[in-house]
Amino acid sequence: MRRVKLSFAGLKVDFCDRDRAIKQVEDFAERGTWHPIVVFGPEGCGKTAWLKQAAELLRELGFEAIYVDPIHKDFIAHTDVKELVDKFTEAAMEAVGVAQLKLTTLAIDAAKWLISKWGKRRIAVLVDDAFQAIGLDKAAMYVKALLSLVEYPPEGCEKIVAIATTSEGLSRREIGRHLWAWIKPIWNMNQKGFEEIYEKIPGRKPPFDEAWRLTGGNPRILAQLYESKWSIEHVARNLAESKRLQMFTSSLSNDEKMWLLEAIDNPDALLTKGGMPLLNKLVELNMMIDAIPERDGETWIDEPPPERNLELGIGRHVAWQTPLHREAVKRAITQ
């Protein structure tokens, strides 16, 4: 399998690790996906890298593979149908707002046209963070449209693979209200794969164990630390400002502040009647992930997180997205 080139902290690096996740894509290709696969996980954990590599693998396996990232107006069209590639190019050139909606819709329409108009038999539709582009209120209906594509494909179709990703806890909850998709979690990278990324960073850097402790295996946080010359303060402050954590913590009641301080040490502490509203707010802010399922191989994309690792902010049922997300909240509430 050819490894795709990816942008990382101003560098061009080869896709690395996630071997189990790639094997799962091969399984999807062999059987097709009978429901859309919706993959959720921490911001910056590598969902985009995995989807782009999946598009390359599916191309090699004989699929017409369409990858769309509406937020960044990015697409990959592994097809020899020039007319369709032109449609994606034109959609990506539209104004902000219009382009996002057109690309999101075009991903499904393209699959139908490839089968009915151009006689293609194996189709893959890979949509990256579409729900952020189209809005939470439309997330479930978009998944329903993917389900209709999978369940009732145009005549002549042999196999369809449909995968969508999201970082947003709220979109996951909205989609989960229906039985229209298989919802599968993905976590930050394991130590072996993360060390491959770490080793690609040039110049002086903190020891690997320290980088792991700060990021929990999250490539985006590693890139931000590198870009900020390894300043924990700078990255934590940037997180706090982008999430408006000072305003958030100031709005909390005394009881909620107490629960939040407990959750810094043990995220599962929020699994109480009083703590649940606060947990919901943190999930909405993309600071935490809740309802973490059993750590079994069938449930997860790639390898699951450890059963419990409080040093990294991982509880049995609730986890901080990364240790630096936790650090940003800690600094906001103690200032």
We report the CATH number of the domain holding residue 90 as 3.40.50.300
| Tens digit of each residue's pLDDT (9 = 90 or more) over 288-332 | 999 899 998 789 999 999 999 999 999 999 999 999 999 999 999
299: containing domain: 191-334
Residue 65, token pair as written in the block: 């593979």
Q: Note whether 276 and 219 are same-domain residues.
A: yes
Q: Note whether 89 and 51 are same-domain residues.
A: yes
Q: Note whether 221 and 169 are same-domain residues.
A: no
The C-alpha atoms of residue 49 and residue 291 are separated, in whole angstroms, by 25
Q: Using pLDDT thresholds of 50, 70 and 90, give the confidence band for residue 174.
A: confident
Percent of the chain with pLDDT over 70: 99
Q: Note whether 306 and 263 are same-domain residues.
A: yes
The pairing of strands 122-128 and 319-320 is unpaired
- What's the confidence (pLDDT) of residue 89? 96
Rg for the chain, CA atoms, rounded? 20
Asked if 110 and 88 count as a contact pair (C-beta separation under 8 A), the reply is yes
Q: Note whether 154 and 287 are same-domain residues.
A: no
Q: Note whether 38 and 171 are same-domain residues.
A: yes
Q: Is the pLDDT of residue 109 over 70?
A: yes
Q: Note whether 178 and 46 are same-domain residues.
A: yes
- What's the confidence (pLDDT) of residue 137? 78
Q: How crowded is residue 247: how many other Cβ atoms within 10 Å of its Cβ? A: 10
Residues comprising the chain, all counted: 335
CA 268 remoteness from chain centre = 22
**Residue at a domain's end among 118, 152, 185:** 185
- What's the confidence (pLDDT) of residue 311? 96
User: How much is the average pLDDT of 221-241?
Assistant: 96
Q: Note whether 242 and 139 are same-domain residues.
A: no
Q: Note whether 16 and 84 are same-domain residues.
A: yes
- What's the confidence (pLDDT) of residue 298? 84
Buried b (16+ CB within 10 A) or exposed e, 125-142: bbbbbbbbbbeeebbbeb
Burial class (CB in 10 A: 0-12, 13-18, 19+), 254: exposed
Q: Using pLDDT thresholds of 50, 70 and 90, give the confidence band for residue 136.
A: confident
Percent of the chain with pLDDT over 90: 83
Q: Using pLDDT thresholds of 50, 70 and 90, give the confidence band for residue 170.
A: low
Q: Note whether 78 and 160 are same-domain residues.
A: yes
**Residue at a domain's end among 138, 156, 185:** 185
Q: Is the pLDDT of residue 169 over 90?
A: no
Asked if 158 and 124 count as a contact pair (C-beta separation under 8 A), the reply is no
Asked if 149 and 159 count as a contact pair (C-beta separation under 8 A), the reply is no
One-letter amino acid for residue 62 of the chain = G
Phi-psi region of 129 (alpha: psi -120 to 50; beta: other; left: phi over 0): left
User: How much is the average pLDDT of 97-105?
Assistant: 92
Number of structural domains found in the chain: 2
The C-alpha atoms of residue 123 and residue 115 are separated, in whole angstroms, by 8
User: How much is the average pLDDT of 22-35?
Assistant: 95
- What's the confidence (pLDDT) of residue 6? 92
Residue 153, token pair as written in the block: 């494909």
**Residue at a domain's end among 185, 206, 233:** 185
Residue 124, token pair as written in the block: 């893959």
Q: Note whether 199 and 321 are same-domain residues.
A: yes
Say which residue the tokens 């329903």 belong to: 144
Q: Using pLDDT thresholds of 50, 70 and 90, give the confidence band for residue 61.
A: very high
One-letter amino acid for residue 239 of the chain = L
pLDDT-wise least confident of 48-62, 139-153, 171-185, 289-303: 171-185
Q: Note whether 241 and 258 are same-domain residues.
A: yes
Beta strands per DSSP E along 129-204: 159-166, 182-185
Return mean pLDDT, the chain. Answer: 93
Q: Is the pLDDT of residue 205 over 90?
A: yes
